[in-house]
Amino acid sequence: MTRDREKLAPYAAWIAVCLLWGTTYLAIRVGLETLHPMIFAGLRFLIAGILLFGYVRLIRKERLPKGREWFDLSLIGVLLLILGNGLVVWSEQWLPSGLAALLVATSPFWIAGFELMNTEGERLSIRALLGMLVGFAGLLLLVAPDLFGSALGSGYLFGVIAIQIACAAWSGGSVYAKRRRVGTSPLMGSAIQMLIGGLIMTVAATFMGEWHTLRFSPRSAFAFSYLVIFGSIVAYGCYTYAVQTLPLSLVSTYAYINPLIAVILGWAILREPLSWRVLISAAIILAGVAMVKTAPKRHAKRQTFDTDEAPSIATVRTAA
């Protein structure tokens, strides 16, 4: 029974990422009604990091990172949260959300490229590559009406470039997190990454003079709280674990599913229309993900580890 749970846990974490980060599109949209992007993101991750750190340190009594581990976790936090997440939010000043979602969905291809450069990285089979292309095509169909929703100009170009830098940073950080081994648990690792990323963004917001604009409405306060708990503590912790325990080609397909979840929520909560185009897109995206999931796994070089070595960034802790 325990072994079955261990096998299912990584997939449960991946599904949680797909579902929860799909809901954050709506929550971010509501939060930005009264909050500026930098202070919004900075406080979100800083508070989430403090709460998670207090839990793993004071209640679970887990050890702090040592030596080089601080650098590794800080670097991952900068790549994923500041560059990966922050630049996407910044770019949406000029880009429609549909186009932003489509550009973010190039992340699986960035990850495949980084893994190809890694001598011990995952190698895509033809089936997995086709699955990624099928999923991307489904997303293209899903966001097609939004592709031309912004006028061309320097801001538009900066937004496109910023998202690709964000994708590269997020993908590089994910590959680094999978390959770099530290002795902390996934929860402690996630807490440190959010603390570092949130602190830096909050300091940047301070220099930008955003504190005087800080104002919560009941709607934005609820959205902010939701993002702290479910978008950051739960989903980011699940992503940290899934990256370490599942093939990156599969984990990265969350970028296809998140916009689909957002569209479904828009239909269920905001009463936005759900057309046949959306349903067909959903079928294509899910077919692409299934192709990636069932593709044979290949590595350039298999690495073996001594059982006495320290666990990886996202090793599961069985303690309650």
Identify which of 12, 3, 67 has the alpha carbon closest to the alpha carbon of residue 237. Answer: 12
Q: How many CB atoms lie within 10 A of CB 90?
A: 17
Q: Which amino acid is at 81?
A: L
Q: Are 164 and 103 in contact (CB under 8 A)?
A: yes
pLDDT tens across 126-146, in order? Answer: 888 888 898 888 888 877 766
pLDDT tens across 164-221, in order? Answer: 999 999 999 999 988 887 778 888 999 999 999 999 999 999 999 889 888 999 999 9
pTM over 0.95? The answer is no
Helix (H, G, I), strand (E, B) or coil at 198: helix
In the chain, domain spans: 2-299
Helix (H, G, I), strand (E, B) or coil at 317: coil
Q: How many CB atoms lie within 10 A of CB 151?
A: 8
Cβ within 8 Å of residue 307, ≥6 positions away: none
DSSP assignment string, 208-246: TT-GGG----HHHHHHHHHIIIIIIIIHHHHHHHHHHHS
pLDDT tens across 69-114, in order? Answer: 999 999 999 999 999 988 887 787 777 666 777 788 888 888 888 8
